[in-house]
Chain A
């Protein structure tokens, strides 16, 4: 596609429920990144996929968080047993390859856990 597409744009869920967030990167981009941004804060790295290499999961805050990337394209970030502190905007970005300068970000998914 022309840009990075994320869905849903907004998600309200009850504490303890599981949620899935989807990211559709720019076609042909081999690198895909997930970040989290709390209100008024910077971007916190979560996970990074590059081609067929093992993902860099070093930013995932707990084992309730997981992500996969199927066929080197679409990625899904799953949060199990959501907690109120998980409320944030989840941003996905892609770049042509791992060494490329400049990520293209999607508009994010605003997750609210009530």
Chain B
């Protein structure tokens, strides 16, 4: 079987930093992706990690530790527009489909 665990909800204030953790148990691992989804909207791709370490894209960074089966998404300088659900997703083999976690709802308060 396979599972991805992430917190269900996180609340923070504007300007703060939020870290969303994702732990996975899968038979095979190729890479970890992160997607953002606003209410009623389509998921949009944020980042991808195949190797250990940190990937930075503007205010968002993503980290992967393959040995710990763990990754996180870091949201810095939070803005109101960052209120959304964030999903981690695993690719188990090259060319394989994504398996998604249950999502973390981030609520940004003024």
Which residues of A does B touch, CB under 8 Å? 4, 33, 35, 41-45, 48, 50, 56, 91, 93, 97-99, 101-108
| Of listed A42, A99, A102, A104, residue having the most chain B CB within 10 A | A42
Chain B positions within 8 Å of A, measured between CB atoms, are 31, 33, 41-45, 48, 87, 89, 94-103
Sort A-B residue pairs by CB-CB distance and give the 4 closest, nearest first: A98-B95, A102-B45, A105-B42, A43-B100
- B44 proximity list for chain A (CB < 8 A): 105
A51 to B97 Cα, complex, angstroms: 14
Number of A-B contacts (CB under 8 A): 51
Q: How far is the CA of A10 from the CA of B18 in the complex (A)?
A: 34
Task: Decide: B97 and A45 in contact? CB cutoff 8 A.
Answer: yes
- In the complex, 18 of the A-B residue pairs with CB atoms within 8 angstroms, ordered by the A residue number, are A4-B42, A33-B97, A33-B98, A42-B101, A42-B102, A43-B43, A45-B100, A56-B97, A93-B43, A98-B96, A99-B94, A101-B33, A101-B45, A101-B48, A102-B33, A102-B48, A103-B43, A105-B43
